[in-house]
Amino acid sequence: MATNRALILSMAVVSGLWFGSAAALDRNGAIDAAKRQVKDRCTAATFCTFTAKQEKDKWHVRVDFTKSNSPQEKAGGHVIFIFDATGRVIGRVE
């Protein structure tokens, strides 16, 4: 009986930690989520730079695409992703 309680308690603690971390997106998490969205567009020939800022409970991450031989020269423009607190894309502006 005590073993069952200990098992249930440990599962509840682990679940609480997992849900708590998933619900709180920080700057690095927002940039990582944006990197997953553009992984096929960021190559050796096209560098990507990421800028993230938080507005209320949402993260806006701007991804700029630049040519590798000239970081100032725009290769493909930019895209802005809007993420909710869980890291889900809720908006996109190209």
Is residue 62 one of the residues assigned to a domain? yes
21: Cα within 13 Å, side-chain hemisphere: 7
> How many separate domains does the chain show?
1
For the entire predicted model, the pTM comes to 0.67
* Range in 18-22, 49-53, 59-63, 72-76 with the lowest mean pLDDT: 18-22
The whole domain housing 70 covers 25-93
pLDDT in tens, 63-88: 998 876 665 665 668 999 999 999 99
* 10 belongs to a structural domain: no
Give the closest residue to 41 by CA, choosing from 6, 72, 66. Answer: 66
- 46 is written with which tokens? 């096209």
Give the whole-number percent of the chain exceeding pLDDT 90. Answer: 52
Residue 78's H or E segment, with its range, is: strand 70-83
Determine, yes or no, domain membership for 64: yes
What is residue 4's three-state secondary structure?
helix
Asked, for residue 59, whether it belongs to a domain, the answer is yes
Interatomic CA distance for residues 44 and 67, integer angstroms: 9
